[in-house]
Amino acid sequence: MKKFIAVASFTAVLLASCTPKATTPTASAGPAVSTAEQLAQGKTIFENSCGKCHELPKPTAYTSVQWVGIMNSMAPKAKLTEEQHQWVYDYVVSVKK
C-alpha cells in the first residue's frame, strides 16, 4: 500500500511539473485563456513546424495529458519558444472530438 501511495504521489508531481506553463499573467486566479488569434497562431505553427518533419497527428487522437508529453518532447526539436509551445498546446487541446 505504501508503494502504491508513493507511486501515485510521484505521478501527480510529475504530471504537474510537466504541464506547459501559461506565459501570460492573468488578473484572476483562473487559468489563462487563449484568444482566437493565439489559437490560430498555434494551428499555423502546428501545421508548419510539426508538419515539416512528419505527418500531423489528429489533435483529437490524444488527451490533454498525452499532449503534454508529446509537446514537451517535440517542442525543443521544432525549436519553439515557450509562447509558441503554449499556443500549439492550447490549439491541439481546443479541437473538439
Under the banding of pLDDT at 50, 70 and 90, the label for residue 96 is: confident
Chain center to CA of 25: 17
Which DSSP category does 60 fall into? G
pTM of the model: 0.65
What type of residue is 74?
M
Q: pLDDT per residue over 1-26, tens digit each?
A: 555 454 444 444 444 445 454 444 33
The C-alpha cell at 8 is 501515485
pLDDT at 69: 95
Q: pLDDT per residue over 55-66, tens digit each?
A: 999 999 999 999
Residue of 55, 28, 48, 30 whose CA lies nearest to 88: 48
